[in-house]
Structure 1
Amino acid sequence: MDQVSPGEEPRKTELLLGLRSLGLTMRRAQKGRIATRIALTRRHISVESTLYPITIRILQPPIPSVETHNLIMAASLPLSSSSSTTICSSIFNQIPNSIQPFIHPINFSSKSQQHRVCLGLRSGSSCRSTPIRAVISEVPNQNQKYAKIGAGSTGPISSAQLLESVEFAAKTGAEVVMEAVNKPRNISYKGLTDLVTDTDKMSEAAILSVVRKNFPDHLILGEEGGVIGDSSSDYLWCIDPLDGTTNFAHGYPSFAVSVGVLFRGKPAAAAVVEFVGGAMCWNTRTFSAVAGGGAFCNGQKIHVSQTDNVERALLVTGFGYEHDDPWATNMTLFKEFTDISRGVRRLGAAAVDMCHVALGIVEAYWEYRLKPWDMAAGVLIVEEAGGAVSRMDGGKFTVFDRSLLVSNGVLHSKLLERIGPATEELKGKGIDFSLWYKPDDYNTEL
C-alpha cells in the first residue's frame, strides 16, 4: 500500500458498511448497534459508530505469512474507564462481505484505555496471520473419526476437520465466482446448450488447490477436470465449481459452488455456497452438513418442511440437456404435478434445489441423469435436515446413480406413486439407469 507523502492530501473514499469489496465488520453483542459509515484513506480507516470512534492503522510492512487476499491491521479502540465492552475483532479483506469472516469475540478490560488487536486472531495470540475462514457451523459428534487411508496418508480425519475443510474449499471457489459475477463472461460450449465459463475453470482450480494442499492423497472428481488423484483412497471429493452456469452467465440468481466428500462411497461432509440477490447486489448463504451432525444454513440448524399434502406442496425439478425419452417423461410429470400441487419450479441448479428442500421452502425435487458432482453435497444436506432420498424408481440411492428424488420425507411415498411407474416405463423402453460412473478401483461400501 502506498505511503502518504508529507503535505500530500490523503485520497479519501467513503464506503457504506456492507459493500462487498470492503468486508469490514464491527458489531456489538447488542443487536442492531453497528457502525454506519467508513472513511478510507491510504493509511487509515475511520469508522463512525453509534458506540465509539475507531481508527484502524494498516501495518507496514505486511506480515510475511499473510495470504495475498488479506490486509492485516491494528486497531486502537478508545474505551470508557467506567465500563467493559465486548466487541468482535474486525477483519479488513478483499473477500466479499457476504462470505462472512471467522470472527472471535474479544473482551476488553475497563482497566486499559486502548487495546491493540492483531485482526483475524484470538486475543493474546502471537501476531501472525491465518487464512480467512468463513463462519463455521456448529458441529456435533466431533469425536467421530474417519479411517486412515493407506501409505502416505494424511491420517485419520475428524468429522469436524472434514466439515471445516469442505466449507473452506467451497468458500474459496465462491470467492472466485463473486469476483466475476458482475463482469463480462467468456463463455464456451460443451454441447448445444451446455455452457462453461472461465469462472467455472478458475473456481475449480481454486478448490483443487485447497484440497490437494491439505489432502494430497484424496481422490477428486470435478465437473471440469475429471478424476484426479489416487483411486485407492477412501475419500472422494465431488466438486461442482459453478452449479447453474447458464444462470450465472445470464446473471440469474440461482447458482452455487458445491463440494461434497464421500467416504467409501457414502456422503460424509458437504458445503453449498448459494448466490442470492441479483445484479449489483449479490450475496451468499452457505449450507453445510456432516454425516450424523445435522444440516445448517449460515451456522443455523435447518429442517425440512412438515407439509403432508401434495396439494399444499411447492415442488422443484430439473431438465437435462438431452431432449430424449427421459426429458419427455419429465415434461409429463411436470405438467401432472403442476395441476395437483401449488406449483413446480425449474431453477436450473441441482445443489440449490436440494438445499431449498432442506431449508423447508420447497417440499421435493426430482431429476433424471444427474452426475455425482451435482448430487454429492445436496443429498447429504437434505438427509441431515430430516428429508428422504431415493432413486426415481424408489430404489436405494447412491451418488453414482442417474435419477434422484429428494423430499421432506412425509411426501416421499406419495410422490413415488406417480414418479416410480413413469421411471419403470422408461426402463422398459431400454433407458439405462444403472450407475453412471464410479472411478476405477475406488473402494465403496455400497
Structure 2
Amino acid sequence: THRRSAAGGVKPFLSAPMARYLLPSTTTAASSFPRNARASPAPILAPRALASRSKHARAIMAVASDQPAAPSKYPKMAAPTTGPVPADELLGVIQAAAKAGAEVVMEAVNKPRNIQYKGVADLVTDTDKLSESVILEVVTKNFKDHLILGEEGGLIGDSLSEYLWCIDPLDGTTNFAHGYPSFSVSIGVLFRGKPAAATVVEFCGGPMCWNTRTISASSGKRCLL
C-alpha cells in the first residue's frame, strides 16, 4: 500500500505485520545479518602492540615446547630394528631386487601385452612373472634362509625364518596393461612380523616417455627418495 505525504508525493507504506517481516528493528538488524568485512576493517596495530603480541606468542610456544608430547593413540607398527641383518645391508638388497624387477617392467612397458585372467577382474601379464623371477634371484642369492611370499609364486624358503619378504613384482597390473601411469614394483620385509624395510619403484610419465622414482625406508631411518 502507499501513503500520500504532505508535499503531495506518494510514499510506500507497509502494514505493521508486513513491516515486522521485511523491516527488522534496528536492535535486531545488526545481529540478523553477517558483518561485512569491508565495512568493518581489522584495526591497524601500532608497532609497540605488534611487538607485544609477538613476544606473547613466543612465550606461549616456549612453554608448549617444554611439555611432554601426548601419547599417540596409534601404536608404532614398525620393527624396532632390522634384526641380525644391518639396515643398510637389508635395504641395499631390497633396492637391488626392486630395480631388477623395474628393469623388466620398463623393457615391456611399451610393448604389446600377453594378458591372462586369474579371476573376473584380476589379470596377470607375462611381465608380472618375469619381474618376480628376477627379484627372487636377487633375494635368494643374498638371503637363502629367508621366507619369501611372491604374488605369483606363493611362499618359498625357510618357514621358520624371522624374516618374511613380501613381493609385488607389478603393483597395478591393470594400469600397466592399459598404459595408465600408476603402477610400481613393491617389496617389503618383515622382521618378526613387523615392517623392517621396504622399497617402491614407481613408474610415472606415460607411453614412450616413462620414468621411475625409487622410495625406500627402513627401521630407524627416514624415508629415502
Coarse TM-score class (shorter-chain normalised): 0.5 to 0.7
Is this contact kept in 2: 1:223–1:240, CA < 8 A? yes
State whether structure 2 residue 197 is matched by structure 1 residue 269.
yes
Matching residue's letter, 1:268 = A
1:196 maps to: 124
Q: Could you tell me the TM-score, scaled by structure 2's length?
A: 0.63
Across the aligned residues of Structure 1 and Structure 2, the Cα RMSD in angstroms comes to 1.2
User: Take 2:102 and 2:178, find their aligned partners in 1: how far apart are those partners?
Assistant: 17
Aligned positions of 1:103-114 closer than 5 A: none
Is this contact kept in 2: 1:181–1:251, CA < 8 A? yes
Return the structure number with greater helix share.
2
Structure 2 gap segments, 5+ residues each = 1-79
Structure exhibiting the larger radius of gyration computed from Cα positions: 2
State whether structure 2 residue 165 is matched by structure 1 residue 237.
yes
1:286 maps to: 214
Is this contact kept in 1: 2:82–2:219, CA < 8 A? no
Match of 2:151 among 216, 223, 226: 223
2:186 maps to: 258
Q: CA distance change for structure 1 residues 270 and 146 in 2, over 3 Å: closer, same or farther?
A: closer
Structure 1 gap segments, 5+ residues each = 1-143, 148-155, 298-446
Matching residue's letter, 1:205 = S
Q: Deviations over 1:201-256 (max 9, x none)?
A: 00000000000111010000011110001110000000000000000000100000
Aligned positions of 1:146-165 closer than 5 A: 146-147=82-83, 156-165=84-93
Matching residue's letter, 1:170 = A
Is this contact kept in 1: 2:147–2:163, CA < 8 A? yes
Q: Could you tell me the TM-score, scaled by structure 1's length?
A: 0.32
2:134 maps to: 206
Shift of 1:294: 0.8
SS at match of 2:110: coil
User: Take 1:258 and 1:145, find their aligned partners in 2: how far apart are those partners?
Assistant: 21
1:185 maps to: 113
Higher relative contact order (CA 8 A, sep 6+): 2
Shift of 1:292: 1.7
SS at match of 1:157: coil
1:175 maps to: 103
Is this contact kept in 1: 2:200–2:216, CA < 8 A? yes
Is this contact kept in 2: 1:145–1:157, CA < 8 A? no
How many residues are aligned here?
Answer: 146
Q: CA distance change for structure 1 residues 271 and 146 in 2, over 3 Å: closer, same or farther?
A: closer
State the percentage of identical aligned residues: 73
User: Take 1:157 and 1:230, find their aligned partners in 2: how far apart are those partners?
Assistant: 16
Q: Deviations over 1:330-383 (max 9, x none)?
A: xxxxxxxxxxxxxxxxxxxxxxxxxxxxxxxxxxxxxxxxxxxxxxxxxxxxxx
Matching residue's letter, 2:181 = P
User: Take 2:218 and 2:211, find their aligned partners in 1: how far apart are those partners?
Assistant: 24
User: Take 1:160 and 1:182, find their aligned partners in 2: how far apart are those partners?
Assistant: 34
Aligned positions of 1:267-416 closer than 5 A: 267-297=195-225
Shift of 1:165: 0.8
Shift of 1:161: 0.5
Shift of 1:146: 4.2
Shift of 1:145: 6.7
Question: Runs of 4+ in structure 1 displaced over 3 angstroms?
Answer: 144-147
SS at match of 1:295: coil
User: Take 2:98 and 2:221, find their aligned partners in 1: how far apart are those partners?
Assistant: 19
